[in-house]
Amino acid sequence: QQPVQSPQAVILREGEDAVINCSSSKALYSVHWYRQKHGEAPVFLMILLKGGEQKGHEKISASFNEKKQQSSLYLTASQLSYSGTYFCGTAKAAGNKLTFGGGTRVLVKP
């Protein structure tokens, strides 16, 4: 069963913050985050493996709440280059395939 992402879309002004959520109805082993710009391949951002783990990629960070079966991606002081569609992918166990959410479209305006 695929994870649910929210919101589906967000529009930001440069410098503003945003949060993207990824929720699962099942317990998770790991959460992956990818960003895809229009006409390009999805690009890996980060993996969270343990409940409570937090990671960062430039000014993009993420957390993984194992109990809530949820991960959040934080876009801080957004830049124009942050525009794109963000996907979370979840795995229920170490040997499981990734199941991707529907994506969150982010548009950062000057």
Partner 1 sequence: ETGVTQTPRHLVMGMTNKKSLKCEQHLGHNAMYWYKQSAKKPLELMFVYSLEERVENNSVPSRFSPECPNSSHLFLHLHTLQPEDSALYLCASSQEALAGEHEQFFGPGTRLTVL
Q: What are the residues binding partner 1 (CB under 8 A)?
A: 2, 29-30, 32, 34, 40-44, 47, 49, 87, 89, 91-103
Which residue's CB is nearer to partner 1, number 42 or number 84?
A: 42
Question: Which residues is 57 bridged to in the sheet?
Answer: 60
Give the whole-angstrom CA distance, residue 76 versus residue 32.
19
Minimum CB distance to partner 1 smaller for 3 or for 82: 3
Q: Which one-letter amino acid corresponds to residue 3?
A: P
Contact by Cβ (8 Å): 87, 33: yes
Minimum CB separation of residue 41 from partner 1 in Å reads 4
Nearest CB to partner 1, comparing residues 19 and 98: 98
Q: Which residue type, as a one-letter code, is found at position 72?
A: S
